[in-house]
Amino acid sequence: MIEEQALVIEAADGTAWVETRRQSVCGQCAANKGCGTSVLARVMGNRRSRVRALDPIGVRPGQTVRIGLEEGAFLRGSMALYLLPLLTLFLGGLLGEVLAARLDIVQEWPALLGGLAGGGLGFLWLRGFARRILHDRRYQPVVLGIVTAGTEPAAPARPGARPTFG
């Protein structure tokens, strides 16, 4: 399971809107100055992302929580998002090239149109895939636990009680 800490913004009816901060591990290795990821992290900054997560434990706004997503769902979603449109773009271009060769067309426009059509079909499929998984629980992040109680006042400790850490 891939885990991340997030701040609860809203919570109701078994779901919570949480905000995560994009973090980079840059600065952790010796190649910091010449690394492309380091440059990208500086350009993109530490932006926040707002995500809807399933909330089986009942969190409240202001709390910091751990959210998780299954690796398999992350991998399937990533492949659908990045690989499929690129693959259909190339296959469409290849099909356009083959069609141009059969019709004795020596220009690039059939390959270009084939690539655009293939890429468009890939994105159309991706749109349908996104609609299918929108409410699929396997693809939804889940609140795993509370890290800090946020703005809620802490309960007074009983004399002699040991502190607990979440």
**CATH for 115:** 2.40.50.140
Domain range for 75: 2-21+47-148
Whether 73 is covered by a domain: the verdict is yes
Whether 130 is covered by a domain: the verdict is yes
Query: Which DSSP symbol is given to 51?
Result: E
Whether 88 is covered by a domain: the verdict is yes
166 residues of the chain, pLDDT tens digit each: 888 888 899 888 888 899 887 665 555 565 555 666 666 566 656 577 888 888 898 888 988 999 998 888 889 888 999 999 999 999 999 999 999 989 888 888 999 999 999 999 999 999 999 999 888 888 889 999 888 876 544 444 444 444 343 3
Whether 36 is covered by a domain: the verdict is no
Whether 164 is covered by a domain: the verdict is no
Assess contact for 23 and 112: CB atoms under 8 A: no
Whether 116 is covered by a domain: the verdict is yes
Alpha-carbon distance of 99 to 105, in angstroms, equals: 8
Whether 153 is covered by a domain: the verdict is no
Alpha-carbon distance of 72 to 63, in angstroms, equals: 28
Whether 75 is covered by a domain: the verdict is yes
- When divided into structural domains, the chain yields a total of 1
